[in-house]
Amino acid sequence: MANIRTIIAREFADRKTTKPHVLPLYLTSAFAFDNIDEGIDIFKGVAQGHVYSRYANPTIDTVAAKIAALETQGSDLEASCLLLSSGMAAISTVCLALLKPYDKILTQGNLYGGTTELLSKILKTWGVTPVFTDLQGTDWIENQLKTDPSIRMIYGETPANPSMACIDLEKLGSLGRKYGVTTVIDNTFCTPYLQQPLLYGIDLCLHSTTKYLNGHGNSICGAVIGLDKEKMSKVWEAMKLVGTNSNAFDAWLLNNGLKTLALRMDAHCANTKELAGWLESLPEVEKVNYPGLESHPDHVLAQKQMKKAGGMLSFELRGGLEAGLRFMNRLKLCTLAPTLGDVDTLVLHPASSSHLKVPREVRILNGISDGLIRLSVGIENVDDIKEDLLQAIRG
């Protein structure tokens, strides 16, 4: 019989006798081999198996497989998914894996502020040049792809954060295939429940799963989904070597949130559609950005590639910066928070937060004005949300 110190230090055999109903949480850094030959085969790729949780983990792999299935649901396509430590980790890892010095990335000027900073500050130190433009101008994009072979990636958001401008996924995917350029779309705002970029020919789809996919604001995680095995293998290798992988606990929390995604998105969309029309009727509101409104310039395109118009909107208050700040300070029910996609209504003033470090002239050029307010509309009673917004607008 082993010494008591040995018994204390060793793992006991797993006593599982029947299949668990809920995904288990595998909180282990490494996995044990039955023998050295098994370990060699797994390291060589001859046999399937887990090695180290930075490479892969059963909890993480299970949740990733579910997200991949959601992005291709309704088609015969088979995607794979990687979970990373955050949405920003997903973007940076994709760029690190697929771009090299002297490459250019064609992107839009109305991106999320953090992504703009990543491309402008960090990518430049890798020797990669971001080219900010309007990705809605597909003729201009094609001309650039024809004349500049150093453009190796097109990166976009649709709808964009926070202007809600939409990009034609089918045209973008077609251009990418025609010129051999990788196309990448951030699908965080929509989730695969509302929009599936891979079905329109986009190479890679990204998420900050922290947002709608989780939906409860209790974990940070990111996802990369793609159909091309070679591209996904390169992203996996970069993730493994740089260490931008997710962890089992965040993946487990994400899995719990995913189970109510359809119910939540339906409620988000219904509330947002009603609020958008109501806000548009207020004299204090100069403009409402919501693709579900007929007044939105991309309304027809959104109807084509989105099942519903989503749970995000932005609106322009008359009075500029002062009006925006005053509105934020008067809110009582809605939450001031630099995130989105939770079940409660979250409010952001981009000029003083997410886009604070973006030059003002760049913000204004891309529709992110001083008085712009972004709403991540929650699933509360819509009349309660209206009451809070109205008192904050009128004081």
Q: Which one from 155, 168, 171, 186 is the annotated catalytic residue? A: 186
Q: Which one from 152, 211, 231, 264 is the annotated catalytic residue? A: 211
Asked about 54 being catalytic, the answer comes back as yes
Task: Spell 122-140 as b/e; 16+ CB within 10 A means b.
Answer: ebeeeebbbebeebbeeee
Cα Rg of the chain (Å, integer): 23
Alpha helices in 108-221 (DSSP H): 113-117, 123-125, 138-147, 169-179, 191-194
* Contact of 258 with 63, CB cutoff 8 Å: yes
Asked about 186 being catalytic, the answer comes back as yes
Q: Which one from 112, 193, 200, 290 is the annotated catalytic residue? A: 112
Q: Which amino acid is at 225?
A: I
| Angle (nearest 5°) at CA 372 between 371 and 377 | 135
Closest CA to 225 of 254, 192, 258: 192
Asked about 52 being catalytic, the answer comes back as no
What gap in Å lies between CA 206 and CA 221, rounded to an integer? Answer: 11
List strand residue ranges (DSSP E) for the chain, in order: 80-84, 104-108, 129-133, 151-157, 182-186, 204-208, 222-226, 285-289, 312-317, 335-336, 346-348, 372-376
Closest CA to 250 of 52, 57, 19: 57
Question: What single string gives the DSSP state of each residue in 43-69?
Answer: HHTSS----BTTT--HHHHHHHHHHHH
Asked about 326 being catalytic, the answer comes back as no
Residues 6+ apart with CB under 8 A from 359: none
Q: Which one from 41, 54, 66, 344 is the annotated catalytic residue? A: 54
Q: What helix, strand, coil percent values describe the chain, rounded to 5?
A: 45, 15, 40
Q: In what order do the strands lie in the sheet with 222-226?
A: 80-84, 222-226, 204-208, 182-186, 151-157, 104-108, 129-133
What gap in Å lies between CA 170 and CA 178, rounded to an integer? Answer: 12
Q: How many other CB atoms sit within 10 Å of the CB of residue 76?
A: 5
Q: Is 83 helix (H, G, I), strand (E, B) or coil?
A: strand
Burial (0-12, 13-18, 19+ Cβ within 10 Å), 274: middle
| Active site positions, annotated | 54, 112, 186, 211
